[in-house]
Amino acid sequence: MSIASGFGSVLGTSSGIQNLAHSLAARLGGSAGTYFQQLNAASFRNVSFVSLGGMSNFGRRVDIHEYPYRDTPWAEDLGRATRHFAVSGYLVGDDVIAQRDLLIAACEQSGVGKLVHATYGELNVTLFQFRVIERWDKGRYFEIEFEFVESGERVFPSTITATTTGLIEAALGADAAASLDFVSNALTTLSAGAATLQTYVVSALGLVHSCEERRRRCAQSVSAADQPAGRLRALCRRVGCPGVQHDRRGFQLTKHGEFADGPGGRKSCGSR
């Protein structure tokens, strides 16, 4: 019996894979039952398939900074890297074409999907690529390969007020408030001073107006007092007394044709 026929007979039985695993575990040491009990039935978006193996990538996001004349770079750590999962498996059965079509429909759906990984369990992933390998010599056995990337929730950045910015804004606000208070007090003081000054100006204008009125009245009185003297001078000129002198008290014409220029004083028309 050849090795190929032996493997074929083993894989042909319902428990062939399990028997092969137990045989390998016995040769390598340990128990295969515990390991296989931990495996999950693989599926993607509730479409089952048989998982044969896979490959996963883990690590950190690193940005390398290189500088002139420096031999060693600086590696800037930007957080955990995105996890990638590559899964290989197969579909088998008389309805293998229908199984393939269901899996294609599941892979072409948009958005995040649930992957049940054989060893990682349930994962929220986004599918990159799905490949189906069909061979005529394997008949109803289709090989499949997936490439997934983990997917998280869509989170928008939140905004917070920086401490320095808050202090600067508070200082600017206090400065503006102090400036407004100073301007308000200055305007109040200036308004009071302007009112007082206006009172003084009004009083001064009233005093000037009063003085002007008194001057006008005095001028009117002098003009009124000067009118009789003018008439007397005109009369004297007619009668031939051009040299008559008089003072501010005026003249009085006596019955003898003389003028009196003061109390008890008399002057004739010809006297000076």
Instruction: State the Cα–Cα distance between residues 250 and 272, nearest whole angstrom.
Output: 15
**CATH classification at residue 98:** 2.40.30.200
Contact 118, 56 (CB under 8 A): no
CA atoms within 13 A on the CB side of 112: 11
pLDDT of residue 187: 77
Instruction: State the Cα–Cα distance between residues 54 and 41, nearest whole angstrom.
Output: 14
For 241, other C-beta atoms within 10 Å of its C-beta total 18
Q: What is the CA radius of gyration of the chain?
A: 63
Please list the ranges in the chain whose pLDDT falls under 70: 1-33, 161-162, 222-272
Instruction: State the Cα–Cα distance between residues 170 and 175, nearest whole angstrom.
Output: 9
**Which residues share a beta bridge with 114?**
124
> Both 45 and 134 in a single domain?
yes
> Both 191 and 122 in a single domain?
no
Whose tokens are 């407004």? That residue is: 180
> Both 145 and 84 in a single domain?
yes
- The string of pLDDT tens digits covering residues 29-80 is 656 568 888 899 999 999 999 999 999 999 999 999 999 999 999 999 999 9
pLDDT of residue 32: 55
Q: Which residues constitute the domain of residue 74?
A: 36-150
Instruction: State the Cα–Cα distance between residues 185 and 112, nearest whole angstrom.
Output: 66
pLDDT of residue 248: 45
